């Protein structure tokens, strides 16, 4: 039987969790024994990493091949001015180390590819997609569907954000949808401008990333209802939330009735993420 005892420092640190019936010492131990792979240490990844670490998630992997730029600091709050020019994974790791010594941080200063996604995802309980490009989103979705790995999705644009959760638990009956069920293909390259072109409200990713972290913590605790089958749309200008129901697509190429994607090597992820012709 797992030892549910927390030491005195942990009882103090996590006291607001421990006194909750829905968490308690057993739930806190589940968090401490849990693991999350955060893909992207930017706008969405920053608040997600901060709150996952503060909550006591015991092992957090961070995937990012970028370095900190001063223009990042308006929204990527896990980094500071002194970190400009440093790899984002190093900056984020230092932040977590100063915040909570209970957390083991594993840094992966690489770009996610079909060749490395399997090794990166395999050792974690759940994946949090905080990426900023369609290729990574589709790659993560496809791999997580094929391996039945739970995935938290978030995306932002100017004043708007969206969040959903894919548990990817598949039994053959009433299976949940995946990202491709909502968005079968990525838009043509260059047709959707990024935040460097259109801008983004600095506080927006904080809201969306925190919702993603909440979904992950709930999953690790085994509590509450995930955003599965529901796409939560957030408009910061109107301060409004809209929930859009999402259903499985029987024609989905990765989770449908007759899937065409059996491996991430079947897809050309740098284009519109369509199935490769060969």
* Cα dist from 274 to 119, 175, 183, 261, 262, whole Å: 23, 23, 11, 10, 13
DSSP per position, 28-91: HHHHHH-EEEEE--STTHHHHHHHHHHHT-SEEEEE---B--GGGGGT-TT--GGGTTSBHHHH
Please give the Cα distance from 119 to 108 (Å, whole number).
11
CA angle 234, 166, 59 (to 5 degrees): 95
Catalytic hit among 195, 252, 255, 273:
195
User: Is 195 a known active-site residue?
Assistant: yes
Q: Which residues are catalytic?
A: 195
């Amino acid at each position: 039987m797992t030892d549910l005892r927390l030491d005195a420092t942990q009882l103090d640190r996590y006291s607001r969790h421990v006194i909750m019936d829905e968490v308690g010492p057993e739930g806190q131990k589940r968090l401490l024994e849990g693991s999350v792979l955060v893909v992207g240490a930017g706008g969405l990844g920053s608040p997600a990493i901060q709150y996952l670490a503060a909550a006591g998630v015991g092992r957090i992997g961070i995937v990012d091949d970028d370095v900190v730029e001063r223009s990042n600091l308006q929204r990527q709050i896990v980094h500071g001015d002194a970190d400009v020019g440093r790899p984002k994974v190093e900056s984020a790791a230092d932040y977590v180390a100063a915040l909570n010594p209970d957390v083991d941080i594993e840094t992966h200063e690489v770009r996610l590819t079909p060749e490395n996604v399997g090794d990166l995802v395999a050792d974690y309980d759940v994946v949090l997609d905080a990426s900023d490009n369609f290729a990574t989103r589709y790659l993560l979705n496809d791999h997580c569907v094929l391996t039945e790995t739970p995935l938290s999705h978030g995306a932002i644009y100017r004043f708007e954000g969206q969040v959903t959760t894919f548990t990817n638990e598949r039994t053959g009956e009433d299976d949940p949808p995946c990202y491709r069920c909502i968005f079968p293909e990525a838009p043509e390259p260059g047709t959707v401008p990024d935040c460097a072109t259109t801008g983004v409200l600095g506080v927006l990713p904080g809201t969306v990333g925190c919702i993603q972290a909440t979904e992950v913590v709930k999953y690790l605790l085994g509590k509450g209802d995930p955003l599965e089958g529901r796409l939560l749309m957030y408009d910061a200008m109107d301060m409004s939330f809209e929930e859009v129901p999402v259903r499985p697509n029987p024609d989905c190429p990765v989770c449908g009735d007759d899937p065409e994607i059996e491996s991430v090597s079947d897809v050309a992820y740098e284009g519109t993420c369509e199935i490769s012709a060969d």
